[in-house]
Amino acid sequence: MKDLIQNFTNQLRESKAIADKAIVSKSKDIQNIVISGLGGSGIGGTIVSELISDSCKVPVIINKDYSLPEFVNEHTLFIVSSYSGNTEETLNALDIAIIKKAQIVCVTSGGKVLQLSKQHQFDFIEIPGGMPPRACIGFSLIQLIKVLVEKGFAQSSLFSDIEKSILLLDQQNEKIKVEANQIAKQLLNKIPVIYSLGNCEGVAVRFKQQLNENSKMLAWQHVFPEMNHNELVGWTIKNESLVVVTFHTSFDYVRTKKRYEVCKTIFQKYANAVIDITAQGESRLEQFFYLINMGDWISYYLAELKGIDPVEVNVIDHLKKELSKF
């Protein structure tokens, strides 16, 4: 896992090269977009939907279930994101999308998804396999960007933002690792409470998932301003086991930032500590990749501090084995 995180910018370079060569056909009369995927494969869809929220002219729905919304039809762009190509829930959703005659594009490293793509002559982009899906977000996210740009639902400037992201992360590599190590020490034997300020919720979810899988620990996540209308009321008792971690970007809305300033004083009163992580970079994509890489390193260093293997996911393997009996 350490090598995979260290080589993240190389992954981005390879993924960009794959995207440059990929051929994606134009779509006709698309009225909505559904991106289907789960876990390490699916989080890319959540993040890309936020990246294009200010430019995409049709609604984008992220699907993380066996079923599909009833509105899916021949005017739906249905994008499958399954690293293994064998994700049970995604395959079921794909079968439904085929029946509903959606316009389908697949991003996968193989498995049944690749097989069905070739059988039905769907557009597909094949990415390298054999790695933990959560460590391959660079492959999935960039291919989703490729699909959405080629289909006319994302700005082509995102491609140049990928290059800028690579340069930024290479320049900031040692600084990110030092900060991540320090944060990991503060989170050891604690429960992280992760907040984002609205426009990068997917990145915060990604961080929670990395803590779950790499660090083998529970965490919870919420977003401003929504948490101001519910969860904030729960901050009433001092709890030394809680550490608040917040993600900030330069795109945070001014009123949302003011809300956080007020709430931070409350968190400081009741939590063990409050850790603010501020993204570097100019574009939204640069800042998202910066926060993703920071979160990945934190999760790795926590696993190292705990003396555990960040790669193994035995409990998920057990679940899949039990499900295979039915």
Cα–chain center distance at 253: 21
101 has catalytic annotation: no
Active site residue 322: no
Q: Which residues contact 17 (CB under 8 A, 6 or more apart)?
A: none
- The one catalytic residue in 213, 216, 248, 286 is 213
Q: Which residues contact 165 (CB under 8 A, 6 or more apart)?
A: 12, 281, 283, 285, 286, 289, 290
Residue 1 identity:
M
List the catalytic residue out of 185, 258, 269, 320.
320
- 28, with CB counted inside 10 A (0-12, 13-18, 19+), is exposed
138 and 8 Cβ atoms separated by less than 8 Å: yes
Q: Alpha helix locations (H) across the chain?
A: 2-6, 8-21, 39-51, 88-99, 111-120, 137-150, 157-187, 201-213, 254-270, 284-306, 314-323
Give the residues across from 61 on adjacent strands.
Answer: 34
Q: Quick check: is 164 catalytic?
A: no
Catalytic-role residue among 229, 321, 322, 325: 229
- Rounded CA-CA distance 129/187 in Å is 32
Q: Which residues are catalytic?
A: 213, 229, 320
